[in-house]
Amino acid sequence: MDIVVRMQRYEQDQWDLRRQLTNLQTYVDDLKHEIRRIKSSDNSDDVRANLTYLLMESVKPIDSLKPEEEEPGEDHVRHREDFPNIKFFTARDWTEYKRDNKKSTRDGEPVIRGKAKSSLGENHTALYLERTDGQPADGDYVNDARKFARTLINLALTSKYKMPRKWSEADIWFQELFYTALRKRFPLFQLCHNNAKGNFSMTQAYYEAVTRKWENIRPQNLDLENSKYTIKSHSASGEDDDETVDVRDTTKASKPTTKRPPTTVITPPRPAKAARTQGQDAEPELSRQTPGKGKGRAGPSLLAIMATSAYDMSSYTMFAATHVPCPTQNRRPARTARAKYHVGPRLGSRGSRNVHCGYGGP
Give the highest mean pLDDT range of 41-45, 177-181, 337-341. Answer: 177-181
Q: Are 178 and 202 in contact (CB under 8 A)?
A: yes
**Three-state SS at 263:** coil
Say yes or no: 42 and 85 in one domain: no
Question: What percent of the chain stands above pLDDT 90?
Answer: 23
| Residue 150 structural domain | 80-216
Q: For the chain, how many helices (H) and strands (E)?
A: 11, 3
Is the domain of 3 the same as that of 120?
Answer: no
Residue 168 covered by a domain: yes
- pLDDT, tens only, 149-164: 999 999 898 887 888 8
With beta carbons less than 8 A apart as the criterion, state whether 306 and 314 touch: no
User: Is 222 contained in some domain?
Assistant: no
What is the rounded distance in angstroms from the CA atom of residue 264 to the CA atom of residue 245? 13
* Cα dist from 134 to 74, 87, 306, whole Å: 20, 7, 99
Residue 346 in contact with residue 352, Cβ under 8 Å? yes
Residue where a domain stops, chosen among 170, 187, 216: 216
Give the span between the Cα atoms of 358 and 97, in whole angstroms.
127
Residue 316 lies in a domain: no
* Final residue before a domain boundary, out of 183, 216, 249: 216
Give residue 333's pLDDT. Answer: 54
Q: What are φ and ψ of residue 225, in 5° steps?
A: -125, -25
Indicate if 36 and 100 belong to the same structural domain: no
234 within a domain of the structure (yes/no): no
Q: Say whether both 131 and 188 belong to one domain.
A: yes
Q: Residue 348 domain-assigned?
A: no
What are the φ and ψ backbone dihedral angles of 130, each rounded to 5 degrees?
-125, 150
Closest CA to 66 of 188, 200, 160: 188
Answer yes or no: is 151 within a domain: yes
In a domain, 356, yes or no: no
Do residues 38 and 114 both lie within one domain? no
Same domain, 43 and 89: no
Residues 74 and 67: their CA atoms lie apart, in Å, by 10
Asked whether residue 28 falls in the same domain as residue 101, the answer is no
**Which residues lie closer than 8 Å to 209 by C-beta, 6 or more apart?**
150, 153, 154, 157
Whether residues 34 and 129 fall in one domain = no
Counted domains in the chain: 2
Regarding pTM above 0.85, the answer is no
Q: 89 and 210, same structural domain?
A: yes
| Same domain membership, residue 29 and residue 155 | no
- For residue 170, what are the contacts with CB-CB under 8 A and spacing of at least 6? 164
Whether residue 247 has pLDDT greater than 50: no
Residue 260 sits at the vertex; the CA angle it makes with 254 and 264, to the nearest 5 degrees, is: 115
CA–CA gap between residue 87 and residue 129 (Å, rounded): 10
pLDDT of residue 70: 87
Q: Do residues 99 and 203 share a domain?
A: yes
Read off the pLDDT of residues 272-323 as tens digits, 9 standing for 90 and up: 666 555 544 445 454 555 555 555 555 555 555 555 555 555 555 565 555 5
Tell whether 84 and 200 lie within a shared domain.
Answer: yes
> Is residue 97 in a domain?
yes
